Amino acid sequence: MTIKNLFKEKCPQCKEHLTVNRTSLLSSQVVKFCPKGHYEKEYHPALESYIETVQD
């Protein structure tokens, strides 16, 4: 295990690494999602928090 893999976030169901999608520079939203569609984690800078969505 390398240090780089230590900081990568994984899907809680399938343990795949989350894919990162960034929106425009002005909105600064960062969306991390499972490639298989199980899990999504979205950072909202105005709320200063994450919103997590889990699909069954």
One-letter amino acid of 53: T
Amino acid at 29: Q
Give the chain's domain count.
1
| pLDDT (0 to 100) of residue 28 | 79
Q: Residue 29: its pLDDT value, please?
A: 84
- Determine the structural domain holding residue 32 and report its residue range: 3-54
For residue 44, what pLDDT is reported? 86
pLDDT of residue 5: 74
| C-alpha 32 chain-centroid distance | 2
Secondary structure of residue 3 in the 3-state scheme:
helix
pLDDT < 50 regions, the chain:
none
Measure Cα distances from 22 to 14, 42, 44, 56 in Å. Answer: 23, 10, 11, 25
Read off the pTM: 0.75
